[in-house]
Amino acid sequence: MSSLLVRNAARILIGGPDWEETAGDVLVEGGRILEAGGDLAARAPDAKILDARGLTILPGLVQTHVHLCQTLFRGLAEGLPLLPWLKTKIWPLEAAHDAESITASARLSVAELLLGGTTTILDMGTTRHHDAVFRVLEESGIRAASGKAMMDDGDGVPLELLETTVDALRESFDLAERWDGAAGGRLRYAFAPRFVLSCTEDLIREVARLTRGEFLLHTHAAESAEETALVERVKGRRNLRVLADLGFLGPKTLLAHCVWLDDEEIDLLAQSRTRVLHCPRTNLKLGSGVAQVRRLLDRGVHVSIGCDGAPANNTLDAFAEMREAALLSAAQAGPGKLTAQDVLTMATWNGAEALGWEDRIGRITPGRDADLIAVDLETPHAAPVTDAATALVYSAKSQDVRHVVVAGEVLVENGALARMSSAEIVCEARAQAQRVEARVAQRSAR
Amino acid sequence: MSSLLVRNAARILIGGPDWEETAGDVLVEGGRILEAGGDLAARAPDAKILDARGLTILPGLVQTHVHLCQTLFRGLAEGLPLLPWLKTKIWPLEAAHDAESITASARLSVAELLLGGTTTILDMGTTRHHDAVFRVLEESGIRAASGKAMMDDGDGVPLELLETTVDALRESFDLAERWDGAAGGRLRYAFAPRFVLSCTEDLIREVARLTRGEFLLHTHAAESAEETALVERVKGRRNLRVLADLGFLGPKTLLAHCVWLDDEEIDLLAQSRTRVLHCPRTNLKLGSGVAQVRRLLDRGVHVSIGCDGAPANNTLDAFAEMREAALLSAAQAGPGKLTAQDVLTMATWNGAEALGWEDRIGRITPGRDADLIAVDLETPHAAPVTDAATALVYSAKSQDVRHVVVAGEVLVENGALARMSSAEIVCEARAQAQRVEARVAQRSAR
């Protein structure tokens, strides 16, 4: 069995929720952590060595809400609120995707995610070509739950994206059959009805019923004031009540955004143990507002973090997203009410829990899969370091990530991708983005 | 005269307010721009070459509110609102500074600023040892206006920081005598009464009277709700009315924060052409709120950007600060109301104007001082690029800055400091921070 020895770290942060600290080596065998802390060189004389001298090791960052298929549209949907952003930009762009452009978008995303220390994601695709995303996830080495978007209804949805209820279900189950548990369990399928306004009630109910608690369920809810009001007008009930009535809430259900909730809806989340996926920068940029994270946590709601789509952020930078979550909470709930350690826990341990991977990742302890990152905190922008969590959340940047290991595989070494070429990925993304834009222009000229 | 040829840029953004674009070379002679755009190699066969192939050149970023002396305290003042943050952390730490620790703090700051593309700053020191800051500014090559803090009054001010009105004025004029116009005009003096609550009315009035419009005036105003209410209670008038009555407002006056303003105060700013220095991340982190930038601009108030102090941010990253300004404005005023180009203008051209350097820097045109940066936008986190301003504000990161030139001097080349050693600066900062903390502990034990 191949082994890896991460050597001489200045700090090893074991991980949430308690964040114990040690230092020295991490020994990995067959993709799993054998031991962490101290000098372990004698234990594995033939191991591949990854030099972590002066670096801080922590569990890989987990982003529980991203859209890899949208990364190619970065910068193409500026200055719009949620519903016009979807209808006039994102949906027409998604409709113009083909398997090649989705592949380019997914590769660009994974390159950015890995280089920035994100080792695990929950991804939502568009309605078509989702095998292409899974193939990139497989080849790249990142850990992911992912699923195609399901859209069988909705005002302003382009015909190319719209599908029948039966087709949405069939294609999702086919994808789940092919990809759930693939790559040694590194990949999982997550069913993803897009949001209440683009799905029939039949679809949402059937997804919940047919998956019977065996799969993750992933959707958007209560994101903007306009959308939330529209749901209430169309459905006669608030967004979370609609989902509850359709049997969609529960501990395997993950809801992105949840900015606009009333007291009853917060109770529904807490009682059903439904997970909230906090996307602070997207919520600012689309003018949606600020989710009340401190209040949700205090009411017993589970919260993790994600960057959402690049055309609404405009990066997939988990460090920037942690910082935004921390800063907004200080402004909203008061300084110190959400600590740097709380935020780091949301971006690692809570993410692992949300995805049902809390026995597998999220901490650097023997027996767990080796998903870890090594970060340089001895920089002019983070020094001097008193508390590592404070430095990681408030000062560190994605480019301070030196090494990234997923399931024992070194995917980033000394700040460079080990399996992919950044330059080729950027070049191909540029070409494919132009092709997608040309197709959108053709369609709108028809 | 020494010349510098910046070669083969993919884009040259001439700068605000119009942001014309060209490409190719920038030729610099004797510190000034001779020409920008096209192939200029034949014009200067002996010039030093700075390779900018594939990079985007733009005017250096200007931060109009920073505290170099506080950078050493990064991470030492977490989880507090403004007034307790000052009284229980920042002032005791400043009181424990000596010339050595201030030197280390200023060097750490300038390293971070230059590496992140900031070429010009307006800095406020503590009350003592301010020559040490100027010596670092001189040796480093950065462009700066700076001044010692003046504090002759105030609840909770440590004795070591407190000074008499006469001493505050005398020491400031002495510093101005030594440093204003130094380093070929690259350094200027800015008089800095700290804020209304730590200055007598005599001091503020005398600063305005004695400088007679010849110097920049720099202070904090209307930062937090608690501070603003306290000013109103103590003075019987709102903060900006107090400053107006003391003759302190005007086109050479720069006010940091301005979060809590009523209509009359906004009128005072617009009529007096007083400049507002927007510090969005500090305002979030200390729970102070969000300045109404779009509203201020619409009312004719001049706004530029700064990171404030590292213990309230916790970086001096102009890219992060631009992004925060853009995101908060989208949430506050609506998406698209403050464009990426507007924000980029605030962080370059408006900064130059605020400091009275609009004839000298802020644009890449013949005759101006050569203050420019070269940024890599062809990265997995910024590609594909459609609009350069959007990519710079929303996706680019400080570490994407490859080269930094100030007054024709190359201060950062290929992402590394040319005149200083990052490793030495970080090491010295760590040692000096420990010494300052030990002195604070000694004093509080007395």
Q: What domains lie within chain B, and their CATH numbers?
A: 3-59+364-414 (2.30.40.10), 61-354 (3.20.20.140)
The residue-averaged pLDDT of A216-225 equals 98
Q: Which residues of A touch B434 (CB under 8 A)?
A: 384
- Give the SS3 label for residue B309: coil
Give all strands (DSSP E) within B235-387, no chain letters: 253-257, 275-278, 302-305, 372-375
Q: Do B116 and A381 touch (CB under 8 A)?
A: yes
Give yes or no for a contact between A343 and A325, defined as CB atoms under 8 angstroms apart. yes
**Which residue of chain A comes nearest to B81, CA vs CA?**
A335
For an interface test with A, the pick among B108, B115, B290, B381 (most A C-beta atoms closer than 10 Å) comes out as B381
Q: What are the CA-CA distances from residue B132 to residues A43, B123, B189, B219 (Å)?
A: 51, 13, 14, 21
Q: Find where tokens 């760590």 sit.
A: B430
Give yes or no for a contact between A306 and A256, defined as CB atoms under 8 angstroms apart. yes
Q: Do B284 and A381 touch (CB under 8 A)?
A: no
pLDDT, residue A444, reads: 85
Q: Which residues of B touch A341 (CB under 8 A)?
A: none
Q: Find where tokens 């609404």 sit.
A: A312
**Could you tell me the two tokens for A179?**
């990809």
Point out the residue among B75, B115, B390 whose CB comes nearest to the CB of A75: B390
d(CA A257, CA A303): 10
Instruction: Give the DSSP H/E element, type plus range, for residue B103.
Output: helix B99-115
Closest chain B C-alpha to A230 CA, distance in angstroms:
19
Distance in angstroms between the alpha carbons of the first and the last residue of chain B? 58
The residue-averaged pLDDT of A411-434 equals 97
pLDDT, residue B1, reads: 59
Number of neighbouring beta carbons within 10 Å of residue A229 = 13
Point out the residue among B81, B328, B340 whose CB comes nearest to the CB of A284: B328
d(CA A193, CA B313): 39
The residue-averaged pLDDT of B413-424 equals 97
Q: Do A380 and B76 touch (CB under 8 A)?
A: no
Q: Do A287 and B116 touch (CB under 8 A)?
A: no
Q: What are the CA-CA distances from residue B423 to residues A380, A384, B185, B280, B399 (Å)?
A: 8, 12, 30, 30, 16
Q: Which residues of A touch B397 (CB under 8 A)?
A: 317, 397-399
Point out the residue among A339, A394, A399 whose CB comes nearest to the CB of B399: A399
Pairing of strands B253-257, B216-221: parallel
Q: Do A81 and B334 touch (CB under 8 A)?
A: yes
Residue B201 amino acid letter: E
For residue A191, which phi and psi values (nearest 5 degrees)? -75, 135
d(CA B411, CA B111): 10
d(CA B315, CA B118): 12
Give all strands (DSSP E) within A157-315, no chain letters: 187-193, 216-221, 253-257, 275-278, 302-305
Q: What are the CA-CA distances from residue A53 to residues A133, A322, B250, B292, B431 (Å)?
A: 35, 25, 53, 45, 19
Mean pLDDT lowest among A351-360, A426-435, A436-445: A436-445
**Could you tell me the two tokens for B240?**
């900006």
pLDDT, residue B444, reads: 85
pLDDT over 90 for what percent of chain A?
98
Closest residue by Cα to residue B126 from B74, B176, B86, B166: B86
Q: Which residues of A touch B317 (CB under 8 A)?
A: 381, 397
Give all strands (DSSP E) within B319-397, no chain letters: 372-375
Q: Which residues of A touch B285 (CB under 8 A)?
A: 326-327, 330-331, 335, 394
Q: Does the pLDDT value for residue B446 go beyond 80?
A: no
| Residue pairs spanning A and B at CB distance below 8 A | 184
d(CA B187, CA B180): 6
pLDDT, residue A1, reads: 59
Q: Does the pLDDT value for residue B2 go beyond 90?
A: no
d(CA B298, CA A333): 30
Cα dihedral A404, A409, A412, A417 sign: negative
Q: Do B384 and A72 touch (CB under 8 A)?
A: yes
Q: Does the pLDDT value for residue B92 go beyond 90?
A: yes
Point out the residue among B320, B336, B429 whose CB comes nearest to the CB of A78: B336
**Which residue of chain A comes nearest to B80, CA vs CA?**
A335
A297-316 pLDDT, tens digit per residue, is 999 999 999 999 999 999 99
A60-81 pLDDT, tens digit per residue, is 999 999 999 999 999 999 999 9
User: pTM of this prediction?
Assistant: 0.98
Report chain A's mean pLDDT, rounded to a whole number: 97
Q: Do A430 and B384 touch (CB under 8 A)?
A: yes
Residue A174 amino acid letter: D
Which residues, at least 6 apart from A92, have a Cβ–Cβ distance to it below 8 Å? A158, A440, A443, A444
* Phi-psi group of B2: left, alpha or beta (phi > 0 → left; psi -120 to 50 → alpha; rest → beta): beta
CA Rg value for chain B: 21
Which residues, at least 6 apart from A31, have a Cβ–Cβ distance to it below 8 Å? A184, A369, A370, A407, A408, A409
Q: Do A397 and B394 touch (CB under 8 A)?
A: no
Give DSSP secondary structure letters for B148-189: -EE-S--TT--TTT---HHHHHHHHHHHHHHHTTHHHHTEEE
**Which residue of chain A comes nearest to B74, CA vs CA?**
A384
d(CA A326, CA A332): 10
Number of neighbouring beta carbons within 10 Å of residue A200 = 18
d(CA A386, CA B260): 33
A259-299 pLDDT, tens digit per residue, is 999 999 999 999 999 999 999 999 999 999 999 999 999 99
The residue-averaged pLDDT of B364-382 equals 98
The residue-averaged pLDDT of A175-200 equals 98
Cα dihedral B117, B257, B294, B331 sign: positive
Strand partners, A304: A277
Closest chain A C-alpha to B247 CA, distance in angstroms:
33
Cα dihedral A258, A263, A264, A269 sign: positive
Number of neighbouring beta carbons within 10 Å of residue B52 = 26
Number of neighbouring beta carbons within 10 Å of residue B424 = 11
pLDDT over 90 for what percent of chain B?
98
Q: Evaluate whether ipTM surpasses 0.95.
A: yes
d(CA B321, CA B306): 7
Give yes or no for a contact between B314 and A390, defined as CB atoms under 8 angstroms apart. yes
Q: Does the pLDDT value for residue A2 go beyond 90?
A: no
Closest chain A C-alpha to B389 CA, distance in angstroms:
10
pLDDT, residue B445, reads: 84
